[in-house]
């Protein structure tokens, strides 16, 4: 088990290998389809971005609303592939270091991960209630009008993830499936 | 003629929305226990246990199992001797969804238009299917459907000559293409026959059948078991990280069709086989 605290620098990420079990601590930002679209449009229009993503980690999630007295509702990962169109630019131009999600990534994203020393983490899809317990603080920092799709700043404690694609381009999905395939 | 009040429908739908998003049936718990025993991958076993722990926590805290609390798909079996009073049936269903998703702190995931994409803010409208049946009861089933698994679903119009083999191949192709995306272990719903839309609806409705229960037609039941074995030989495993348990079950429903066609629809459901029903 590897314990990491965000933000993540290049040297830290270089040591991670696909399949490593990691516990993340510190601040991470949420973002999914609509927020990514706005971030990329803002970047392309030369506008100042609402969050500095250098060396930060984005969690692809759209949480349930928090019940009274709770920090956040269910908050498991969404399918990362929908952000593939935006991820290379957020990595290359905004300095994003890590992504948390679930599911396959495109070749373009894998290339950007390799070229810029980023990492793709996986959280257990469908374990939204369980994962929400590792989130200790949540506040909206941008695009509040998007509701569940707004950008939240989350403070996490021992948030459980697995390295899905490391900065050398190794992909746990390819390796895991090969091992258990019959015929 | 039996009278059912619209306000009772609102209340029932609201309760079913919350129940279906926070609890899973006895069939799910039993199937998961079996899956944990069968899974050979240590990581896969651990993931299945986490899904059980997640379900326990959700049931105890009334927190949603998954943040994608979906679109509320509502199936109605309306007895022909029922008279709805004090309001419109579909408005009552939508009012129930609005109430349930708001009071249950469930995520609102519906946008007003597929291209304009503005969130409606209350998870309405529901998607409603109504069957008129004999009798004087109203059966309501709420099945919230998330997009992670829905997006990996597919439909193909096969030729009659493609036959059973063509059906098996198409289902396997859809599951393999889906890979880790729909949060395996999945439930695979298959509709064969009918026409284009009928096959899709059969596939969706098949997801309501309890896990482990076979189709009554022997040749379809056999097809279900063959598909389950082949899917679980794919190696995809829990979360797609490799393992024995890719699917918890395969449900196939069939319907008479045209001499010149063989429609096949595959509707994928994530591990959370969410649905709840009530009879008024």
* CB < 8 Å from A in window 215-274 of B: 233-237, 239-244, 270-272
B10 and B135 part of one domain: yes
B174 and B98 part of one domain: no
Task: Tell whether B43 is covered by a domain.
Answer: no
B60 to chain A: nearest residue by CA?
A129
* Residue A25, Cβ density class (10 Å: 0-12 exposed, 13-18 middle, ≥19 buried): middle
Q: Do B58 and A74 touch (CB under 8 A)?
A: yes
Task: Tell whether B222 is covered by a domain.
Answer: yes
* Torsion angles phi and psi, residue A96, rounded to 5: -60, 135
B193 and B219 part of one domain: yes
Contact between residue A151 and residue A31 where contact means Cβ atoms under 8 Å apart: yes
B10 and B110 part of one domain: yes
> pLDDT by residue (tens digit) across A166-176?
999 999 998 88
B169 and B87 part of one domain: no
Nearest to A56 by CA among A34, A37, A29: A29
- Element of type H or E holding B6: helix B6-22
Structural domain ending residue among the three candidates B145, B167, B184? B145
Structural domain ending residue among the three candidates B145, B179, B213? B145
User: Looking at this predicted complex, what is its ipTM?
Assistant: 0.91
Task: Tell whether B125 is covered by a domain.
Answer: yes
Catalytic residue among A24, A28, A36, A99: A36
B62 to chain A: nearest residue by CA?
A129
A164 to chain B: nearest residue by CA?
B241
Beta-bridge partners for B119: B111
Task: Tell whether B27 is covered by a domain.
Answer: no
Sequence-ordered list of residues with C-beta below 8 angstroms from that of A101, at least 6 positions apart, any chain: A59, A60, A77, A78, A79, A80, A83, A120, A121, A122, A123
B135 and B199 part of one domain: no
Task: Tell whether B51 is covered by a domain.
Answer: no
Structural domain ending residue among the three candidates B102, B119, B145? B145
Domains of chain A: residue spans and CATH: 2-180 (3.20.130.10)
Q: What tens-digit pLDDT sequence spans chain B (280 residues)? A: 899 999 999 999 999 999 999 999 999 999 999 999 999 999 999 999 999 999 999 999 999 999 999 999 999 999 999 999 999 999 999 999 999 999 999 999 999 999 999 999 999 999 999 999 999 999 999 999 999 999 999 999 999 999 999 999 999 999 999 999 999 999 999 999 999 999 999 999 999 999 999 999 999 999 999 999 999 999 999 999 999 999 999 999 999 999 999 999 999 999 999 999 999 9
* Torsion angles phi and psi, residue B210, rounded to 5: -60, 145
Pick from B106, B244, B270: CB nearest A64: B106
- Element of type H or E holding B224: helix B218-232
B160 and B251 part of one domain: yes
Distance from first CA to last CA of chain A, Å, rounded? Answer: 33
The confidence score (pLDDT) of residue A164 equals 96
Beta-bridge partners for A162: A21, A122
Instruction: State yes or no: is A36 an active-site residue.
Output: yes
The confidence score (pLDDT) of residue A174 equals 87
B108 and B190 part of one domain: no
Q: Distance (Å, rounded) from C-alpha A182 to C-alpha B266?
A: 23
Task: Tell whether B91 is covered by a domain.
Answer: yes
Task: Tell whether B173 is covered by a domain.
Answer: yes
- Give the structural domain span for B160: 148-272
CATH of the domain at B254: 3.30.1330
Q: What tens-digit pLDDT sequence spans chain A (183 residues)? A: 999 999 999 999 999 999 999 999 999 999 999 999 999 999 999 999 999 999 999 999 999 999 999 999 999 999 999 999 999 999 999 999 999 999 999 999 999 999 999 999 999 999 999 999 999 999 999 999 998 899 999 999 999 999 999 999 999 998 888 899 987
Task: Tell whether B260 is covered by a domain.
Answer: yes
Number of domains in chain B: 2
Q: Distance (Å, rounded) from C-alpha A39 to C-alpha A88?
A: 13
B112 and B228 part of one domain: no
Q: Do A104 and B61 touch (CB under 8 A)?
A: no
Q: Distance (Å, rounded) from C-alpha A29 to C-alpha A148?
A: 13
What are the chain B neighbours of A162 within 8 Å (beta carbons)?
A: 43, 241
Q: Do B239 and A102 touch (CB under 8 A)?
A: yes
The number of angstroms, rounded, from the C-alpha of B249 to the middle of its chain's C-alpha atoms is 12
B134 and B157 part of one domain: no
Q: Is A103 on the interface with B (CB under 8 A)?
A: yes
B98 and B155 part of one domain: no
Contact between residue B273 and residue B251 where contact means Cβ atoms under 8 Å apart: no
B76 and B156 part of one domain: no
């Amino acid at each position: 088990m590897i314990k990491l605290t965000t933000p993540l620098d290049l040297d830290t990420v270089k040591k991670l290998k696909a399949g490593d079990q990691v516990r993340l601590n510190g601040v991470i930002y949420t973002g999914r389809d609509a927020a990514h679209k706005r971030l990329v449009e803002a970047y392309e229009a030369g506008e100042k971005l609402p969050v500095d993503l250098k060396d930060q980690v984005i969690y692809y999630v759209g949480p349930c609303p928090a019940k009274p007295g709770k920090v956040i509702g269910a908050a498991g990962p969404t399918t990362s592939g929908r952000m593939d169109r935006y991820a290379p630019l957020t990595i290359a131009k905004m300095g994003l270091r890590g992504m948390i999600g679930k599911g396959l990534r495109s070749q373009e994203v894998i290339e950007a991960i390799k070229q810029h020393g980023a990492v793709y983490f996986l959280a257990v899809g469908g374990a939204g209630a369980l994962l929400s317990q590792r989130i200790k603080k949540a506040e909206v920092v941008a695009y509040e009008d998007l509701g569940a799709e707004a950008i939240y700043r989350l403070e996490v404690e021992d948030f459980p993830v697995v390295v899905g694609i490391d900065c050398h381009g190794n992909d746990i999905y390819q390796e895991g499936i090969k091992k258990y395939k019959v015929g | 003629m039996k009278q059912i009040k619209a306000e009772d429908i609102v209340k029932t739908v609201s309760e079913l929305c919350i129940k279906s998003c926070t609890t899973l049936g006895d069939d799910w718990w039993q199937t998961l226990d079996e899956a944990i025993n069968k899974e050979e991958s240590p990581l896969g076993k651990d993931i299945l246990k986490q899904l059980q722990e997640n379900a326990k926590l959700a049931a105890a805290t009334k927190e949603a199992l998954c943040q994608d609390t979906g679109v509320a798909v509502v199936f109605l079996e309306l007895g022909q001797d029922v008279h709805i009073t004090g309001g419109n049936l579909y408005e009552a269903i939508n009012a129930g969804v609005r109430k349930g998703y708001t009071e249950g702190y469930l995520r609102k995931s519906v946008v007003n238009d597929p291209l304009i994409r503005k969130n409606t803010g209350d998870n309405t409208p529901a998607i409603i299917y109504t069957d008129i049946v004999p009798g004087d009861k109203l059966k309501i089933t709420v099945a919230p459907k998330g997009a992670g698994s829905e997006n990996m679903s597919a439909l193909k119009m096969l030729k009659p000559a493609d036959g059973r083999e063509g059906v098996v191949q198409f289902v396997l192709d859809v599951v393999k293409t889906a890979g880790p995306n729909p949060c395996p272990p999945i439930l695979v719903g298959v509709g064969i026959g009918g026409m284009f839309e009928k096959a899709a609806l059969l596939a969706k409705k098949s997801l309501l059948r309890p896990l482990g229960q076979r189709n009554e037609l022997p040749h379809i039941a056999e097809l279900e078991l063959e598909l389950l074995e082949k899917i679980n030989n794919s190696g995809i495993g829990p979360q797609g990280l490799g393992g024995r348990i890719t699917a918890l079950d395969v449900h196939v429903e069939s319907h008479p069709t045209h001499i010149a066609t063989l429609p096949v629809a595959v509707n994928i459901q994530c591990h959370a086989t969410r649905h709840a029903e009530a009879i008024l």
